[in-house]
Amino acid sequence: MDRKTIVYFILILFTWSSAKAEDGYRLWLRFDKIENEVLKDYYQEQIQYIFVDGSSPILNTASNELSTGLSGLLGHPIPLEQQPQNKAGIIVGLIGQSQLITDLVPKEKATAIQEEGFLLFYHPTNKQLLLAAKDERGILYGSFYLLRQIQNHQPIDDLNLLNNPKIKKRVLNHWDNLDRTVERGYAGFSIWNWHELPEFIDQRYIDYARANASIGINGTVVTNVNANSLIFRADYLEKAAALADVFRPYGIQLYLTARFSSPIELGGLETADPLDPQVQQWWKDKTAEIYRLIPDFGGFLVKANSEGQPGPQEYNRNHADGANMLADAVAPYGGIVMWRAFVYSEEEPEDRAKQAYNEFVPLDGKFRDNVLIQVKNGPIDFQPREPIHPLFGAMPQTPLMMEFQITKEYLGQGTHLVGLSSIYEEVLKTDTYVKGEGSLVAKVIDGSLDGHKLTGIAGVANIGTARNWTGNLFGQADWYAFGRLAWDPYLDSKTIFREWTRLTFTHDPEALNTIVRMLASSHETCVRYMTPMGLHHIMAAGHHFGPGPWVSQMSRADWTSVYYHKADEKGIGFDRTSTGSDALSQYSATFRQQYSDPNTCPLPFLLWFHHVSWDYKLSSGRTLWEEMCYTYHQGAMEVEQLQESWEQLRPFIDKARFQQVKMHLKIQVKEAKWWRDACLTYFQSFSKMPIPSELEQPLHELQYYQSIIYPYAPGIRPRW
């Protein structure tokens, strides 16, 4: 059977699988035939064959993706030729390895290509489209980019695009346990079936790798940050190696979470002290074992001395001592350590928002060159809205790695439509002012602000065993957006939303604009009905599902809601200025100046930084209490508008996926009103002020909302 025939049968198989009912499984990789005949003819004129100069696992992946994707889009097989042809087509190759590509690509363009970057260049003389890179991953990413251009119906005959990633380590963090439960996962169980590995390789693993590679993600941590030492046992390492083998042809490195006490629990040592020679040797030996099985192993992600996880502080050592020990173990193999800055002590701090800064800033410059400090976007914990973390810009000698949450722990979990790209963009484009105006968080992360070469960004994955991967269909947009912003943190959300909508749903202008508006407005809507004006961490205890502003009885104060909102008869909000916890002092002078005065503090962060009286007059002319009432009601009303907008799209969306979203929006409408009424009824018990008469009044007394329990919330065992 010749190569053309093989490609033809692949196309038949692809078309057969595509013809099945839509359920969201294909994500944004939907290479269906272009219906517009003019467009289809245009692309067919430009692409009549593919020639890939070279062969390797990653290059072969790129070849297959190009051939299969283009064949599906154009409706007939696009052959992979053994030699370049005298007709319009795509020539693919590596600078310095492919003589043809090296000769055709102008030197000034070739020298501008960076690691994992690519050049898509229409050669005016040869009438060929060139895809060039300096490494194989660049070819793979360029292949998916070209397919995306065609899926988005963009021209390709004038391409002159140099595209380099701005961040080196673009990683998904799975909070997946070895028993297949997922911490803060709302799309089913873990996709990693450790029981059947290494012998059984689920097709889902391959499709997962494809999806990540298509948006430039180059690493994945497959185990929970609340780590289990068993992953380092020989049999589990063999299982992990099987996954690494699947990921490798898609340019994805596998990482593991390291439980700091593993030398005790697995190695039989009496201590895990990072300065103990025996402990250091145990980690070096274990690391060597891992690299024998997984030669391209990425390294370790570590959560230490946080929420009960063991760490170096138990031995009177600091975070640098712990991180450097592991960094020394992986350094000979090119590995890295991602050390999380999400820490808070066993003792209750004066303000939890300050602790990471207090622990890490004194260690600036003391970490090894292959250590990244992984910092959550805000100082508390993935709230619907937080100010930027004060560590960004505060550790110029240490590369900081952004940690975003893709799964929606505090944002409605698996049921609410919330376009997280808006959060990501807001954070990345916030100015730290540490080196004057323009010191954006994005510049801290991509290394340009302080000249760091090792850079990284992580997203806590929202992937599970749900057929559509993310449970809520619109959760796919969050996964997609993370990948796009990990590649280029300066992209704007509306561009990303528009891309994803075209790739996933429709090109119809009316429907496209409607879905983009829904996604673009949805984050602000969520903040309005959950935590407006800087309120935060007022969710129910434990599972964080639903409102719980009254939560006060927990084993430590900073796990309660009342710790954060501090509502009393005088007002509401956490004073973080010099008259309160002084957390604001951890930011730059310009930042402090803007936020320290309630009159100049942006309204979205007013109650984060200030305790404000209920009758305080805002620029809107309303009192704080009135503004709170109107904002909660506006949020709930906007969810109903989302529901109405989706209903108008029925003619444009396939039945199965339309129904998925419709059912989730129905839940979101109900829960937004629940949030509104529960929070306003509770806070009214302090303000003693009426909810404006023109607004819908709560149906129940406060005791009713406080009595609601949700035994079915994900991760909670039913209590009857």
Active site residues: 307, 381, 409
Which residues neighbour 349 within 8 Å (Cβ) at sequence distance 6 or greater? Answer: 355, 558
CA 448 to CA 267: how far, in whole Å? 41
Taking Cα atoms as reference points, which of 157, 120, 116, 124 lies closest to residue 140?
Answer: 116
Please list, in sequence order, all residues whose beta carbon lies within 8 angstroms of the beta carbon of residue 688, skipping any fewer than 6 positions away.
Answer: 569
β-pair type (571-572, 612-613): antiparallel
Tokens of 79: 């052959």
Query: What is the DSSP secondary-structure string of 421-439?
Result: HHHHHHHHT-B--BTBTT-
Half-sphere exposure (CA, 13 Å, Cβ side) for 8?
A: 5
Q: How far is the first Cα of the chain from the last one, in angstroms, to the nearest whole number?
A: 63
Those residues with Cβ within 8 angstroms of residue 540's Cβ, 6 or more apart along the chain or in another chain: 546, 547, 548, 551, 710, 713
Alpha helices in 393-546 (DSSP H): 421-428, 441-445, 475-487, 493-504, 509-530
Asked if 220 contacts 252 with a C-beta cutoff of 8 angstroms, the reply is yes
The Cα–Cα gap between 225 and 227 comes to 5
CA neighbor of 424 nearest in space, from 340, 472, 481: 481
Sign of the alpha-carbon dihedral angle for 611, 613, 618, 624: positive
Nearest 10 degrees: Cα torsion 567, 572, 573, 579: -100
Between the alpha carbon of residue 643 and those of residues 122, 417, 520, 649, 667, the distances in Å are: 44, 10, 15, 10, 10
Q: Which of 370, 317, 365, 361 is nearest to 341 (CA)?
A: 361
**Phi and psi angles of residue 532, each rounded to the nearest 5 degrees, phi first:** -70, 155
Nearest to 376 by CA among 362, 392, 360: 392
Residue 379 to residues 6, 352, 530, Cα–Cα distance (Å): 54, 8, 19
* Two structure tokens written together for 560: 């309660």
For the chain, the 3-state helix, strand and coil shares in percent, each to the nearest 5, are 45, 10, 45
- Asked if residues 63 and 80 have their Cβ atoms less than 8 Å apart, the reply is yes
Tokens representing residue 402 in the block: 């952004």
The tally of CA atoms less than 13 A away on the side-chain side of residue 437 is 0
In sequence order, which residues have a C-beta less than 8 Å from that of residue 145 and are 6 or more positions away? 118, 120, 161, 163
Residues 298-325: b if buried by 16+ CB within 10 A, e if exposed: bbbbbbbbbeebbbbbebebbbbbbbbb
Q: Which residue has the tokens 């697995």?
A: 266
Q: What is the largest CA-CA distance in the chain?
A: 81
